[in-house]
């Protein structure tokens, strides 16, 4: 085809742009993406590794057995220690 050189050049540029787009995209996809669905599978472990703040009543019983008994005998037996007191991980850190 004569007189269509400019069109072919434009098309060439398009192809170059498209191919580089695909290549860049390939490298930009995060590691574990798509392993179990359309999301980054590593996110699961990341969310699971957030720090735990609250313990539970057994946590307190380890050190405050007497209090646990007092509470168990009292009217507030169903109320968890951490509802009234600070959570275990913020507690008794360096004595």
Partner 1 sequence: MEPAITTGYVFPNDLHIMWSLMIVIYPYVTGLVAGAFIVSSLYHVFQQRELRPVARLSMVGSLAFLLVATMPLLAHLGHPERALNIVVTPHFTSAMAAFGMIYTLYLILVIFEIWLVYRKPIIQLARRSRGFKRWFFATLALGVYDTSERAMQVDRRTITVLAGLGIPAACILHGYVGFMFGSVKANPLWSTPLMPIIFLFSAVTSGIAMVIVLYQTLMKFSGKSISGACVQSLAQWLWLFATITATLEILEIVTLAYERSEEWVVVGELITHKIPFSFIGVQMIFGSLIPFLLLGIVVLMRRFLTDPLRNTITFLAAFILLIQVFSMRWNVVIGGQIFSKSMVGFRELYVPRLFEREGIVTALAIMILPFIFLALFNHFLPLYESDQEEAPGAPTET
Partner 2 sequence: MPRDEKVEPVTAPEAEDRRRFLKQFLMKASGVAVLVVAGEKVFFSAHAADSEAVPPGTGEDYDPTRHRYVYLIDVTKCIGCGACVRACERENNVPKHHFRTWIERYMVSRTGDVAIDSPNGGHDSFPPEVTGDDITKAFFVPKICNHCTNTPCVQLCPVGASFRSPDGLILVDEKRCIGCSYCVQACPYGSRFIHPETHTASKCTLCYHRITKGLLPACVEACPRAVRKFGDMKRLKDEVSEIIATHQVQILKPELYTEPNCYYIGIGKEVR
Q: Where along the sequence are the contacts to partner 2 (CB under 8 A)?
A: 26, 29-56, 58-59, 62, 78-80, 82-83, 87-89, 91-93
Distance from C-alpha of 10 to C-alpha of 4, rounded to nearest angstrom: 10
User: Partners of 33 in the beta sheet?
Assistant: 40
Binding mask 38-67 for ligand HEC (x = CB under 6 A): -----------------x-x-xx-xxx--x
Whichever of 28 and 58 has its CB closer to partner 1, that residue is: 28
Helices (H), the chain: 5-28, 42-48, 57-61, 65-73, 81-84
Using CB under 6 A, pick the residue from 71, 90, 93, 94 that binds ligand HEC.
71
């Amino acid at each position: 085809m004569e007189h269509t050189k400019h069109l072919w050049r434009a098309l060439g540029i398009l192809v170059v742009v498209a191919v580089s787009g695909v290549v860049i995209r390939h490298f930009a996809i995060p590691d574990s993406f798509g392993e179990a669905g359309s999301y980054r599978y590593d996110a699961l472990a990341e969310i699971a590794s957030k720090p735990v703040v609250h313990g539970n009543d057994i946590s307190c019983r380890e050190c405050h057995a007497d209090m646990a008994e007092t509470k168990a005998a009292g009217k507030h037996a169903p109320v968890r220690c951490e509802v009234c007191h600070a959570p275990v991980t913020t507690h008794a850190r360096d004595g």
